[in-house]
Amino acid sequence: MKQRWALVKTPNSDDFVRVGSMSFDGGSLIIFEDGDRRVVKRAYGPGGWLSFEWKEPENASEVQA
């Protein structure tokens, strides 16, 4: 499975995250490293994220580990 990049805007920052798979449940956004949804990469509570969009980072300095 090809992983894609996403931009998650939060109240305090913009996070570029490589997405293996994701889940949206009751306002929470969970991004997984793998397609089997076993390894959580990022988790945002209902008030912890503002928007999500598929987007490639323009340079490496935008990417957070």
pLDDT band at residue 45 using 50, 70 and 90 as cut-offs: very high
Is the predicted pLDDT of residue 29 greater than 80, yes or no? yes
Domain boundaries, the chain: 4-55
Q: What angle do CA 53, 46, 6 make, to 5 degrees?
A: 20
Residue among 61, 58, 52, 57 at smallest CA distance from 42: 52
pTM strictly above 0.85: no
